[in-house]
Structure 1
Amino acid sequence: MGDENGVEMSTAQKRRSEDAEHDDGRRPAPSRTARIRACAECKRHKIKCEPVNNETKCAKCLRSGTECVPYNMNQRFLDEDAVWKESATAELRQLRSSVQLLLRHNKLPDVEQPTEASPVVSSRQIDNFSPANVISEHGHSALVVPPPMDMTRDPSAEPDSLEEAGLATVPMRSLYDLTRIRNLSNSNRLKPKSASYEEDFIAQGLVPLAKAEELFKRYITDIRLYLWAGVLFPYDSLEAVRRSSSLLTATVLTIAALHTPGSNETLQECYNIFVSLTYNACLSRPQNLDDIRAQALAAFYLSNLSWKLSGLAVRNAVEMNIHQSFQKLMRGHEDQRDNVRLWYALYVCEHQCSIAFGRPSIIHEDASIRNIEQFLDSPNTKPGDIRLCAQVALFKILTEAYNTYGSDPEQPLTEPDFQQLRLFNFAIEQWRISWQSRSADSPVIGSYPSKGVVLYYHFARLQLNSLALRALPPPSAASSEPLSYDRREAANIAISAATSTLTLIFEEPDLRCAMAAVPIFTHTMVAFCATFLLKMTRTWGSIAQPQSPVLSSEPIGLGLNFNVSQVLSLSRRSASFLAKVAENLNEKHLTRHIVHGINEFLKRIDIATTPAGTHVTALPVDGYTGNDFLQMSDGLPGDSSADIANGYNMFDLIGSYGFGFDETFFGRVSSTNVDFWETEPF
């Protein structure tokens, strides 16, 4: 200890003398790396460790030729830090010299020397930087330096704003009033920021301008009007949307590329840019309504990101107080009407995603949802507003049903539950009567607005009444108890609704034309209806009357009005129709996966029945006739349900509130190799 204290004292004396010489103007001492105590070799021999100028080793290690390793590990960090800083300084000098040379060659003014006003990063700031990985616009992982935690005070706040805020404020507002920290503010005074389109991804050449114009035109012409007449996209030119939001620009280009056949490379480029911009917006404070529109629009069309994007869009909208726009509109602020439209669109988007996944919604019924008629009672109402409010009213009913029955697939409905189910069915009937007549036809998309109301009506009835079959024990031909009248009535309504949904799409020309441009929720309707009916065939179709092997003309066991032959025909027609739709879409569109899933399910049913000697008559794709029927022996094999469960299975969708879909579903039914829909980080 004595030797070490002596070393420290002598070092301190030398430093004082060197500083004195430097102050006197004499020749400064050579640079020498500060050393913390002795190295490991000198410590082992218990001798004084003498550093040598301009050398990394001490005198003892130089004489013996051994490695000079600091005894204290902090010394190693100091040595590495000194080497890094010296190398960085040399590179900065070289870069500055090169830049100066280029500027002189191009007859440009030299770079000014740093002044007190120009920010210079100190070595201490560099040491405190912590890098993080994000996705760049090229789709690759990039190393970025996150900004420091901002705890600065808001200089624009008035000292007397505590009096203006009133007594009854939310807790976080009170905290902001006391601290004035920017990050605690609600940002309700922020104005939409204008993006410089001279610097966006199109200007950088990541997407050529000609290709962007082509994709934008496709979106405006073929897709935009099918989502409430373009409520979420109020722009008519690419330049206008580029000036407003790069994220919204990337969204519409990605959606257009997804609906363009043979554009895999362009789709991947646009998708990478969209994901990169979304990453950047996740932890930043929202300042642009168009960025929220972009997130909602992407949630309607990008199946792999819909759930997460809908929640992100809702949170950002609430942070910008969009949920309070309805009250402001009712007080005469007409400039809030677009904000109310956005809030309604977010309500529908979030509830569609919640229902598809069987999860609770995060937007609850508020004054704007309860008073949509007041919103429509205005001369500024547009046709798209009526279509939007119609879906708001429908999902209000379905959400109430979810809160009543839940989504637990192991919780069956009791007999008293069917009285409430009748009230929900009556509400759905009244909804159709009220909104179908108000949804006027369009000169561009024809009768899709009114026919879309009928489509959602049938699908809502299927979703509600399929709960009658939830958590019922597996039936068997040997022993099966008849269903109660109420349960059988609801189950038959669900079967009829699923059949009507598919039939309506096949028979209505405007609906057939719209299927290539509608959001993924409509495609999911088809998938759910076909799967529900095929599950019914597989689960309940084996219970036949012992004396009759033909099921096409007799109801199946337990009193359900179910025609197996018709179900197989409708399922094949669904796959055939969606396959034609997919020809005009990108290979990675959800429709192709649905087609493969339905065909695979049909094949599994055929495989399950063939080993036991059961023969399935091939049915034409275009429909079925009176001679088409399913011939069966005494029944399906008793263990065939396990065969399907162990093989391909599109989840048990019968009787569960929600489709049972999750992020892995579309990977299971993928008809191609693994693509970016399954591998992206969201």
Structure 2
Amino acid sequence: MDSSHQSPNPPSREMSGKGPEITRKITACVACRKQKIKCNMHDGPPCSRCKKRGLSCTVNKSLQMILESDADWKTKTESRIRALEGALGKVADHLTLPELLDYDMEDAADSPEPSGSHARPSLTLSPHEEKHTPHNFDLVMDDNTGPGAIPGSVVSPVIVHSVEQNRADQDIVTRGIITADQAQSFLDIYQNRLDHFVYRIMGDRVTLAQVRKASPLLLAAVCTVGALHLASPYFEKCYQEFVTISATHTFSRRNTVEDVRALCIGAFWLSGISWTCIGAAVRIATELQLHRSIFKALSGERNHYLRTRLYYVVYVCDHHFSIAYGRPPMTRQDDAIRASSAFLQTEHAVEDDARLLSQVKFWSVGTEVYETFGVDVERPLTLDMIEPIRRYAIKLDEIRAYWTERLSQNRYVGNYPRKGVGLHYHFAKLYLYSIAFRGIGRPGFKSPDVALDIDELANSALLSATAILRVVTQDPEIQNFLNGLPTYFDIMIAFAVVFVLKISNKYAAAVRVDTSDIHSLVAELVRVLKAVTSNMHSRHLLVSVARGAETLLERVRPPEARGPFPANAHVVMTQPTFDDSLYDISSQWNGTSFDNFFMGEFDFLDVCWYAS
């Protein structure tokens, strides 16, 4: 028949969605088929003949059986995928996350599949999600910049087809995590007390409505830190929300200065995620070019004054959680830092700026110490290292003298501005002088040409450490500040405790130290900390510092001076939202457990492990 008169081919079963139909099915076992005899099989192998003769009875799978098995598998798989999609949808709703994937199955079904390709559903992003595809931006060549401009400034990315994320959906009050009244109480404790310990990150006083409008991340940070210091049962929920919202900002191109404030707040008080928060804050601050606002700030522009001020906060916070831990700081000695003294002369500068700049000065010296001596704790001091240490010590003395006289009482935090300078001074000195213990127990340590200098530095380190502890034990005002100071101070106290106990336990002969006096000092510190932390939230880092100090003291005391070992000296935190290891600094004296407390990178502690 002529092909022109042939009827069109009927649609195949594959195109119609039905599988091929095989009418002949295999029902006989292999043994009976081989003998070409009837196979009597009722409920499956073995058949009656094989069972009677004791033969192996198997049935080969036919094409029909394979197709039926495949169809059954496909049905079950589709059912499981639908169940999985439903579960993910519930999780996304609970966390207020945009839908991760939205498959347009109708378009995929209507569109013919290209020859030789496998069917793949089209992927569309949620309308509330930013599109991070390789082709959603372009570059504009800017010829308005001068020939002396920074190379990267002549091109600027222009985002196309990008949908702004609906941040209102992340508001923890709107989502019902906490009520507006609870959020107000958390904001009150933060603005009336906590914010003044860190030089007013929030700046001018704001209302709850302004915070909610500014940034859901800022609202979550303030509520989390406020809940922690009010010992609120809502702390865990707020903490989880802060972590979740922070994660959504990781790849966002819509971050603002308010988000930088939020991350700094989290870094100062939430010890378990401090390093992560400040890392993100530095990155976003750099993207927003906060470090370049200093030039217009010096010209009197208030907006750039506020941006520069926030950059100084980022700088201080970054150094809190870098230098003391042996990590290179991410913020450097740039134009903004070098112009910090001139910044105080601008028309918008206030008293809190002076407190903030005193920290910039302290940590600028800390940066020089870090860059000069590095992190090689196995290298003993040589003669050419002694004079730099003395020069840095003089710089710290000058900073303390100037700012102690310069700062005055604060209506919110009393005499903390001046007393805080003293605490920071002693810790900076302890960090500097502990370099004397580098290489202890190694060949070349305390060589004849530096032996007397090392003795002097070592005793100065011990003096600084005991000064920190005596301030805490003897000053009621400082004790009142402890439930509010950033976690940096908690770690400062913990390090001073470990330092003096290690000296009195192992190096009393090498360093002039009254062991009994040290033990009495630490015992008094434990008493004070237990009293201060009795009403604190169990997640407050100082609670663990008090517990750990008590346990360490019991271990180094002679048997006749020991009291009953505390039953709760080692408390295992079971909540999944925290790193348990951060909350116990006392699990092993002759081990590496101190590293878990972010303390292993302190110079003195590192060298002590070698000598243990």
TM-score range, shorter chain: 0.7 to 0.9
Q: Name the aligned partner's letter for residue 600 of structure 1.
A: T
Q: Is the Cα–Cα contact under 8 Å of residues 466 and 654 in structure 1 kept in the other structure?
A: no
Structure 2 counterpart of 1:600, from 546, 551, 555: 551
Q: What is the CA distance between 1:591 and its match in structure 2? A: 0.6
Q: Counterparts in 2 of 1:352-371, with a 5 A limit?
A: 352-371=320-339
Q: Counterparts in 2 of 1:262-277, with a 5 A limit?
A: 263-264=232-233, 266-277=234-245
CA distance in 1, matches of 2:384, 2:538: 48
Q: What is the CA distance between 1:213 and its match in structure 2? A: 2.2
Structure 2: gaps of 5 or more residues = 28-60, 87-103, 112-118, 565-587, 608-612
Q: Is the Cα–Cα contact under 8 Å of residues 201 and 265 in structure 2 kept in the other structure?
A: no
Q: What is the CA distance between 1:597 and its match in structure 2? A: 1.2
Q: Name the aligned partner's letter for residue 428 of structure 1.
A: L
Q: What is the CA distance between 1:618 and its match in structure 2? A: 7.0
Q: Does 1:580 align with 2:580?
A: no
Structure 1 counterpart of 2:480, from 484, 493, 513: 513
Of all paired residues, the percent bearing the same amino acid is 26
The aligned counterpart of 1:645 is 590
Q: Is the Cα–Cα contact under 8 Å of residues 302 and 348 in structure 2 kept in the other structure?
A: no
The aligned counterpart of 1:566 is 517
The aligned counterpart of 2:18 is 55
Q: What is the CA distance between 1:412 and its match in structure 2? A: 1.7
Structure 1: gaps of 5 or more residues = 1-9, 19-28, 35-52, 93-118, 133-143, 542-556, 620-642, 662-682
Report the TM-score, using the length of structure 2 for normalisation: 0.74
CA distance in 2, matches of 1:602, 1:451: 27
Q: Name the aligned partner's letter for residue 251 of structure 1.
A: A
The aligned counterpart of 1:127 is 121
CA distance in 1, matches of 2:328, 2:166: 36
Provide, for residues 186-206 of structure 1, a one-character-per-residue CA deviation record: whole Å limited to 9, x for no partner.
Answer: x9xx9xx99775872211212
Q: What is the CA distance between 1:392 and its match in structure 2? A: 0.3
Q: Is the Cα–Cα contact under 8 Å of residues 325 and 601 in structure 2 kept in the other structure?
A: no
Structure 2 counterpart of 1:17, from 8, 18, 26: 8
Provide, for residues 242-262 of structure 1, a one-character-per-residue CA deviation record: whole Å limited to 9, x for no partner.
Answer: 01100000001111111123x
The aligned counterpart of 1:217 is 188
Provide, for residues 580-634 of structure 1, a one-character-per-residue CA deviation record: whole Å limited to 9, x for no partner.
Answer: 222232101101111121111112213xx54xxxx43779xxxxxxxxxxxxxxx
Q: Secondary structure at the match of 2:531?
A: helix
Q: What is the CA distance between 1:241 and its match in structure 2? A: 0.2
Structure 1 counterpart of 2:411, from 443, 447, 465: 443
Distance change (3 Å), C-alpha of 1:302 and 1:644? closer
Q: Name the aligned partner's letter for residue 531 of structure 1.
A: V
Q: Does 1:182 align with 2:159?
A: yes
Over aligned residues, Cα RMSD in angstroms? 4.1
Distance change (3 Å), C-alpha of 1:418 and 1:520? same
Distance change (3 Å), C-alpha of 1:69 and 1:128? farther
Q: Counterparts in 2 of 1:465-484, with a 5 A limit?
A: 465-473=433-441, 484=451
The aligned counterpart of 2:496 is 529
Q: What is the CA distance between 1:59 and its match in structure 2? A: 3.5
CA distance in 1, matches of 2:399, 2:220: 36
The total of aligned residue pairs comes to: 511
Q: Does 1:460 align with 2:435?
A: no
Q: Does 1:206 align with 2:177?
A: yes
CA distance in 2, matches of 1:332, 1:446: 30
Distance change (3 Å), C-alpha of 1:148 and 1:496? closer
CA distance in 2, matches of 1:655, 1:492: 21
CA distance in 1, matches of 2:329, 2:302: 29
CA distance in 2, matches of 1:411, 1:61: 84
Distance change (3 Å), C-alpha of 1:268 and 1:660? farther
Q: What is the CA distance between 1:659 and its match in structure 2? A: 7.0
CA distance in 2, matches of 1:417, 1:340: 35
Structure 1 counterpart of 2:465, from 471, 483, 498: 498
Q: What is the CA distance between 1:128 and its match in structure 2? A: 4.8
Report the TM-score, using the length of structure 1 for normalisation: 0.67
Q: What is the CA distance between 1:395 and its match in structure 2? A: 0.2
Distance change (3 Å), C-alpha of 1:238 and 1:209? same
Q: Is the Cα–Cα contact under 8 Å of residues 409 and 656 in structure 1 kept in the other structure?
A: no
CA distance in 1, matches of 2:589, 2:400: 38
Q: What is the CA distance between 1:120 and its match in structure 2? A: 9.9
Q: What is the CA distance between 1:331 and its match in structure 2? A: 4.1
The aligned counterpart of 2:143 is 163
Q: What is the CA distance between 1:561 and its match in structure 2? A: 2.7
CA distance in 1, matches of 2:355, 2:214: 26
Q: Is the Cα–Cα contact under 8 Å of residues 299 and 309 in structure 1 kept in the other structure?
A: yes
Q: Counterparts in 2 of 1:297-312, with a 5 A limit?
A: 297-312=265-280
Q: Secondary structure at the match of 1:437?
A: helix
Distance change (3 Å), C-alpha of 1:196 and 1:540? closer
Q: Secondary structure at the match of 2:312?
A: helix
Provide, for residues 364-393 of structure 1, a one-character-per-residue CA deviation record: whole Å limited to 9, x for no partner.
Answer: 101111111110002311111011000000
Structure 1 counterpart of 2:222, from 252, 274, 289: 252
Distance change (3 Å), C-alpha of 1:256 and 1:69? farther
